[in-house]
Structure 1
Amino acid sequence: MGLSSQSTEREDNIVVKDLRGRVFGPLEFSRRDLMAVNIQRGRDHGLPDYNTARRHFGLEPLTSLDPREFREKTGAEVEDGVLKKLQSLHQDDPSQVDIWVGGLLETHDSGPGDLFSR
């Protein structure tokens, strides 16, 4: 039966340690952080910032990275501490958030958030 009868894990925004340092195997000389690679790949390919992408897909852009506003506009289930760190890191400017990071933070129990669903 295997995969046909097993439940999947809950969708979330948590990135496990193996994806941050061992995704390409133990024999690779320099460890790579898959999350950093994804962010850089988006920049290299000219993807827009998170807020610009939301606007493009007809979603209401954020005016702040305040946890209340983020949850209200995205329906995300993210811990306050994560959003407060994001707010501090980007000086409360949603246009400085990378599309991959913002989209991942919108994830909720039932799957991807609005941005990645569109």
Structure 2
Amino acid sequence: MSLKPGQQWSHEILQNLKDAKCVLFLASKAACQSPYVQQEVGASVISEKNLIPVVWDMPPEKLPGWASQYQAINLDGVQIDEIRQIFSQIASRLKFGKLLKVGGLLVAGYFLFCCLRK
């Protein structure tokens, strides 16, 4: 999803969530406390989307109640090749080809996060 200057991002995000078959929730400590993220994930839960929490800077047990009922993927200490494999398996199960692209973006984001964290 790419927003153009002047586009109303909240509406655009909610519209994309409505159209999504699956939602990957990048569940960092900060994201779990964000009211915007809570709104977006809440909309996914209410819409009964396939929600997959992805954690890396906290244990899955620390997910807020509204996300803890979903099996999370814990990327803490996981190598890049393992991350690719995890998201390929998810894409195969869901038969959702776009998830592979998202998985690639997650790998890149996770790599950047690890580099900036040091």
Normalized per residue, the structure richer in strand is 2
TM-score of the superposition, structure 1-length normalised? 0.29
Compute the TM-score of the two structures, normalised by the length of structure 2. Answer: 0.29
Structure with more of its chain in helix, by fraction = 2
